[in-house]
Chains A and B, each alone.
Chain A
Amino acid sequence: MAILEIENLSKNYGSTQALKGLSLTVEAGSVYGLLGPNGSGKTTTLGIALGVLQPSGGTARWFGGQISSASKRRVGALLETPNFFPYLSARQNLQIAADVKGADPVTITEALEITGLAARQHDAFRGYSLGMKQRLALASTLLGRPEVLVLDEPTNGLDPQGIAEVRSLVLRLAAEGKTIILASHLLDEIEKVCTHVAVLQRGELRAAGPVSDILAVADRIVLRLAPNAAPAALLEALGGFSWVTDVRPEPAGGVSAVLGPGRQPAELNQALFLQGLVLNSLEVRHRSLETQFLELTK
């Protein structure tokens, strides 16, 4: 079942086009990452989906229907910044949120404990550190135990320990069967917790699908022949193998290529040797996630 269906969504701020015909579908039970640099349209997408921004075109549907008070109560969401009354305590703020959501007051204590705020629950929100404010925003999303969580940059302002805690919390909630939509500009965060990812760039969808497909790390093999051999022969030989792709010249007469799934560098070495080509060097160059991401958002 589709939890959230976004179709052909666009949004203009004056003459700036923040979203250009974005479409994506979030299936139940997935941890769906929205990945993109700052200003790529992640928050705008979520803002429209959550009903606080008016789209210039397109639709967002929750649970197969229009957004409504009933659909909103099945979703716990943190958008951009923690939004609370500064003069109220954490508990008082959560009481208001629970009233608005129609959530069971028991879940207030539960949420404060899960996010580690129980000891400071009676302190005014204005005295909280950035990390504690972020935790309170997370606590608010848990009120009423919603089946879907929308988290926009949830680790913003947290220290490394806090980041690790939020990640394990997300994984734990996902294991309970909740659907989680997570926006982040941190590749590492998406890779560690998400099952699916959509990559956004300047308001457009660059790629979408299971994380293992989109952020697959394909290593390149860099080859160099003996100095007296003709470099063209190597290019020609590589072109003849169907399981070798993306052949590119490298500096200093080398050539790089990507091997098909399941192929080992030793197989390539042997195949070249059988054609009378003797390598002077063979190097496996690991490709980082960052390189992959930068390539997707080029």
Chain B
Amino acid sequence: MLVRAELRKLLPYRTVWIVLVLFAGLLAFFVSVGGNVTINGQTVGNSLYAFPGLWTKLTYVASYFHLLLGILLIILITDEFQFRTFRQQLIDGLSPAGLIQGKLIVSGLLTLFGMLVLLLVGLYFGLTHTTDSSTSATEGLFDALLRYGVQALGYLSLAALFGFLIRKSGPAILLFLLYSWVIEPLLRLPIADHIDRYFPTKVFSSLTPNPTQAILETMTGPTSALSATQAVPLTLAYAALFWLLSYLLLRHRDL
């Protein structure tokens, strides 16, 4: 019932489709121009799209696009404050937990959409550019998709928290972006590496490490970031915490 009600709100909403098309289009565009980049007089070309390395590179690039899905989720949440439809649904029979579950379902749907786009973009560019048929297209795929999906859930839970906390789309989006790009990196600056790797967006980004990390490490020394395996349970724990905080906000405030 909740899923159906959420779909009834999402499917006819033009903003949703614009952001989703933008998400898929921008990701495909970035991946397609990646092959034309010239390094030391040579185009990167087909080596970029070779399986199984493609999945690691792709999830790293795609991780930057979570912000777009986060912005969409903030719009969908703050809309309901602005239209006072959260209030009406509470009057009509939902509990605060029900309202939260509805948006949790939306975050799940957005995550599935992100994973689907990642899969299609990866398969399309991988299969159309591959010259080497010895490696399977699915090698490393499930691991990459899973890490990407968990990461999306993490970012979306943070976006939802800003939405429920601030209730107005403009300021909530601004704070979400500022937090991810400026505030948390600043907070991490004075803190020792072995502690700062547990900060939320740092944990989230550990799920899709920079594919050139190995080369970087030869110059800067080993990174202290968490491994992807360690980051999965931590990200899920953060997501649960952020949704719980959103619930408490909704529960104890007037609507």
Contact = CB atoms under 8 A, between A and B. Distances in A.
Interface of A: 47, 50-54, 69, 72-73, 77, 79, 81, 83-88, 92, 95-97, 99-102, 140
A57 to B, nearest CB: 15
Nearest to B251: A54
A73 B12 contact: no
Given A52-B255, A88-B12, A97 B83 contact: no
Contact of B94 (A79, A81, A100): A100
Contacts of B93: 69, 72-73, 100-102
Interface stretch (B2-10, B34-42, B127-135, B144-152): B2-10
Given A79-B87, A85-B9, A53 B1 contact: no
A186 B93 CA distance: 29
B13 A87 contact: yes
B92 interface: yes
28 contacts: A47-B254, A50-B91, A51-B91, A52-B90, A52-B91, A53-B254, A54-B253, A69-B93, A73-B93, A77-B91, A77-B92, A79-B87, A81-B84, A83-B83, A87-B12, A88-B9, A88-B12, A92-B8, A96-B8, A96-B9, A99-B1, A99-B4, A99-B8, A100-B92, A100-B93, A101-B92, A101-B93, A102-B93
Interface string B82-123: 011101111111110010000000000000000000000000
A169 B4 CA distance: 31
Given A73-B93, A102-B93, A97 B252 contact: no
Nearest to A68: B95
Nearest to B94: A100
A96 B94 contact: no
A99 B13 contact: no
A97 B87 CA distance: 12
Contacts of A100: 1, 5, 89, 92-94
A81 B85 CA distance: 11
Residue from A52, A53, A84 having most chain B Cβ neighbours under 10 A = A52
Dominant secondary structure of chain A at its interface with chain B: loop
Contacts of B194: none
Contacts of B253: 54
Contacts of B252: 54
Given A83-B87, A88-B9, 14 more contacts: A51-B90, A52-B90, A52-B91, A52-B255, A81-B84, A86-B83, A88-B12, A92-B8, A95-B8, A96-B5, A96-B9, A100-B1, A101-B93, A102-B1
Interface of B: 1, 4-5, 8-9, 12-14, 79, 83-85, 87-95, 98, 252-255
A95 B1 CA distance: 11
B75 to A, nearest CB: 12
Q: What 4 pairs across the A-B complex have the smallest Cβ distances?
A: A83-B84, A83-B88, A99-B5, A72-B93
Contact of A97 (B12, B79, B84, B88): B88
A73 B91 CA distance: 9
Contacts of A102: 1, 93
Nearest to B89: A100
A140 B91 CA distance: 11
A7 B15 CA distance: 45
Residue from A86, A92, A97 having most chain B Cβ neighbours under 10 A = A97
Contacts of A52: 87, 90-91, 254-255
A70 to B, nearest CB: 8
A151 to B, nearest CB: 12
Nearest to B80: A85
Contacts of B84: 81, 83
A265 B34 CA distance: 100
Nearest to B13: A87
Nearest to B96: A51
Contacts of B9: 85, 88, 96
Residue from B83, B92, B253, B254 having most chain A Cβ neighbours under 10 A = B92
B148 to A, nearest CB: 31
Contact of A69 (B12, B13, B94): B94
Contacts of A92: 8, 12
Contacts of B12: 87-88, 92
A55 to B, nearest CB: 10
Residue from A87, A102, A140 having most chain B Cβ neighbours under 10 A = A87
A169 B227 CA distance: 66
Contacts of A81: 84
B13 A72 contact: no
Residue from A53, A84, A85 having most chain B Cβ neighbours under 10 A = A85
A84 B85 CA distance: 6
A54 B255 CA distance: 9
A102 B14 CA distance: 27
A100 B12 CA distance: 18
B15 to A, nearest CB: 8
A81 B87 CA distance: 11
A77 B79 CA distance: 21
Contacts of B91: 50-52, 72, 77, 79
Nearest to B15: A87
